[in-house]
Amino acid sequence: MSNSLLAFSLYDTFTAALPQDHTDPSTSAVVDKGSFSDPSVNVRPKFRYWIPDASVDPQVVASDVRAAGGVGAAGLELLGYYLYGGPPSNGAGRGLGAPVDWATYGFGTPAWRE
């Protein structure tokens, strides 16, 4: 069987399994987009906000969230980026100390919820 005949045969097989309307929900969904000067929250950018742990200053986090909203962000995902840069022993002997106490500042602790 020639390559072109095989390709045509495969195309027929795969397209026969597609729904008849062939709509793509990522491009044909009905979404309120607003306007260029005032886009709806559905199409505004969202951000991922990384923090090292809950020992960060909550006022700084709140200020950053307000700043993101002030420039048009529709939302953010808050993530702890624990042990960024290496394992807990990273920095030992160089005066950098150990990471913070996860029992106090880890995910789900009162400090994290604050």
pLDDT digits (tens, 9 = 90+) for 36-45: 888 888 888 9
Provide the residue range defining the domain that includes 52. Answer: 44-114
Q: Is residue 106 part of a domain?
A: yes
How many domains does the structure of the chain reveal?
Answer: 1
Q: Is residue 113 part of a domain?
A: yes
Q: Which two tokens stand for residue 67?
A: 């700043």
Q: Is residue 89 part of a domain?
A: yes
pLDDT digits (tens, 9 = 90+) for 39-77: 888 888 999 998 888 888 989 999 999 999 999 899 999
3-state secondary structure of 28: helix
pLDDT digits (tens, 9 = 90+) for 79-112: 887 766 555 554 444 445 446 788 888 888 999 8
Helix ranges (H only) for the chain are: 3-16, 25-28, 58-70, 102-105, 110-113
pLDDT exceeds cutoff 80 at 20: no
Q: Is residue 29 part of a domain?
A: no
Cβ density class 35-61: b for 16+ within 10 Å, e for less? eeeeeeeeeeeeeeeebebbeeeeeee
Q: Is residue 32 part of a domain?
A: no
The structure's pTM equals 0.57
